[in-house]
């Protein structure tokens, strides 16, 4: 099969989508920074939600299932709690997020 035939379409499409998602991450970060300056809570929340969604979609396009990403997130949270990450030491944010995620699974 030669490059550009129908058989290559899924690979080419996946590569394009990965590039698109990478650009979306940059756009969401840019929007978040602008929202910091403007003080717009709605734009901040929208940008943060976009980052989370795009991270999951990018992971999927790279071959990682949503549940595998969830497991890695939880492992990193536990690691941060165990090693005394600054956000945990100063605010307890990592254990709080880990608890939130664990409680949501039970509902």
For the chain, the average pLDDT equals 92
What pTM value is reported for the model? 0.84
Are 17 and 5 contained in the same domain?
yes
Are 57 and 70 contained in the same domain?
no
Are 15 and 49 contained in the same domain?
yes
Are 85 and 75 contained in the same domain?
yes
Are 76 and 37 contained in the same domain?
no
Q: What is the pLDDT of residues 73-90, one digit of tens each?
A: 999 999 999 999 999 999
Token pair of 46 as six digits? 């929208």
Are 2 and 51 contained in the same domain?
yes
Number of domains in the chain: 2
Q: What is the pLDDT of residues 47-75, one digit of tens each?
A: 999 999 999 999 999 999 999 999 999 99
As a whole number of angstroms, the distance between CA 32 and CA 16 comes to 24
Contact 34, 21 (CB under 8 A): no
**Residue span of the structural domain in which 30 resides:** 1-64
Burial class (CB in 10 A: 0-12, 13-18, 19+), 73: middle
């Amino acid at each position: 099969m030669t490059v550009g035939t129908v058989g290559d379409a899924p690979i080419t499409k996946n590569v394009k989508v990965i590039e698109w998602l990478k650009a979306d991450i940059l756009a969401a970060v840019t929007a978040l920074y602008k929202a910091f300056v403007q003080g717009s809570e709605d734009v901040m929340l929208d940008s943060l939600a976009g980052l989370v969604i795009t991270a999951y979609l990018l992971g999927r396009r790279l071959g990682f299932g949503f549940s595998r990403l969830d497991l890695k997130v939880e492992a990193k949270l536990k690691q941060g709690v165990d090693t005394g990450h600054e956000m945990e030491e100063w605010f307890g944010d990592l254990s709080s997020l880990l608890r939130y995620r664990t409680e949501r699974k039970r509902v």
